[in-house]
Structure 1
Amino acid sequence: MEDVDEVEHFFGVYLLYCKNPKYKGRTYIGYTVDAKRRIKQHNAGAKFGGAWRTSNKGPWTMVLIVHGFPNDISALKFEWAWQHSDVSRRLRHVPKKKSKQKTFDYRISVLNEMLKIGPWCRLPLTIRWLDSEFANEYSMQVSPPLHMPISYSKVVSRKIGKKSKKKNALERKDLLDDLESILCSICGKFVGSNEKLTCVKPGCFLISHIVCLAEKFSTDDMILPIEDIF
Structure 2
Amino acid sequence: MDVKPVPAFYCCYLLRSTVRHSSLYVGSSPNPARRLAQHNGRVQGGAVRTSRASLRPWEMACIVAGFPSNIAALQFEWAWQNAHLTRHINPTERISFATTRTKTSAQTRKTTRRPGRPRTSLIDKLSNLHLLLRVPYFSKWPLEVRFFSEDVYRSWATWCGRVDSYIRPSIKVYFDPAQTVPQEQDFTSAQPVPRRRKADLIGKGGVEGVDPTYARFHGVFEKSQFLLDEGDNQRCSVCDESIDIHKHLFIICHTDDCQDICHVTCLADTSLKRAESALVVPETARCPSCGHDHKWVELMQQVTLRTRGIKEVQNLLGKRGKSTAAAAAEILETESENDDEQENGEGVLTLQDAVDDEPGLSGEEQEDNLSVASVASTDSLISLTPNVLGDADNSTQPGKLEIVIEDSEDDR
TM-score (norm 2): 0.44
8 A contact 2:234–2:243 mirrored in 1: no
Q: SS of the counterpart of 1:111?
A: helix
Quote the residue 1:60 is aligned against. Answer: 58
8 A contact 2:220–2:253 mirrored in 1: no
Q: Is there any run of 5+ residues in structure 2 with no aligned partner, and where?
A: 1-6, 100-118, 161-165, 177-205, 287-292, 294-412
Q: Deviations over 1:31-90 (max 9, x none)?
A: 111111112222228x94222212222232211001111111111111111111111111
Quote the residue 2:251 is aligned against. Answer: 199
Quick check: which one's strand share is greater? Answer: 1
Q: SS of the counterpart of 1:97?
A: coil
How many angstroms apart in 2 are the aligned matches of 1:52 and 1:181?
Answer: 54
Q: Which amino acid aligns with 1:184?
A: S
How many angstroms apart in 2 are the aligned matches of 1:17 and 1:37?
Answer: 16
Q: Deviations over 1:166-202 (max 9, x none)?
A: 99658516415649686837xxxx8232599732787
Q: SS of the counterpart of 1:69?
A: coil
Is 1:138 aligned to 2:145, yes or no? Answer: no
Is 1:223 aligned to 2:223, yes or no? Answer: no
Q: CA RMSD in A?
A: 3.9
Task: Give 1:184's match in structure 2, choosing from 237, 253, 265.
Answer: 237
8 A contact 1:147–1:227 mirrored in 2: no
Quote the residue 1:44 is aligned against. Answer: 41
Quote the residue 1:15 is aligned against. Answer: 14
8 A contact 1:172–1:203 mirrored in 2: no
**Taking structure 1 as reference, are residues 201 and 36 closer, same or farther at Cα in structure 2, changes over 3 Å only?**
farther
Is 1:109 aligned to 2:127, yes or no? Answer: yes
Q: Which amino acid aligns with 1:151?
A: Y
Quote the residue 2:213 is aligned against. Answer: 159
Q: Which amino acid aligns with 2:173?
A: I
Is 1:129 aligned to 2:186, yes or no? Answer: no
8 A contact 2:30–2:212 mirrored in 1: no
Q: Which amino acid aligns with 1:152?
A: F
Is 1:97 aligned to 2:96, yes or no? Answer: yes
How many angstroms apart in 2 are the aligned matches of 1:85 and 1:157?
Answer: 29
Q: SS of the counterpart of 2:67?
A: coil
Larger radius of gyration: 2
How many angstroms apart in 2 are the aligned matches of 1:91 and 1:107?
Answer: 14
Percent of aligned positions with the same letter in both sequences? 23
8 A contact 1:11–1:68 mirrored in 2: yes
8 A contact 2:236–2:243 mirrored in 1: no
Q: Deviations over 1:138-165 (max 9, x none)?
A: 245455321122232223234349xx98
How many angstroms apart in 2 are the aligned matches of 1:228 and 1:159?
Answer: 22
Q: What's the offset of the Cα at 1:25?
A: 1.0
TM-score (norm 1): 0.73
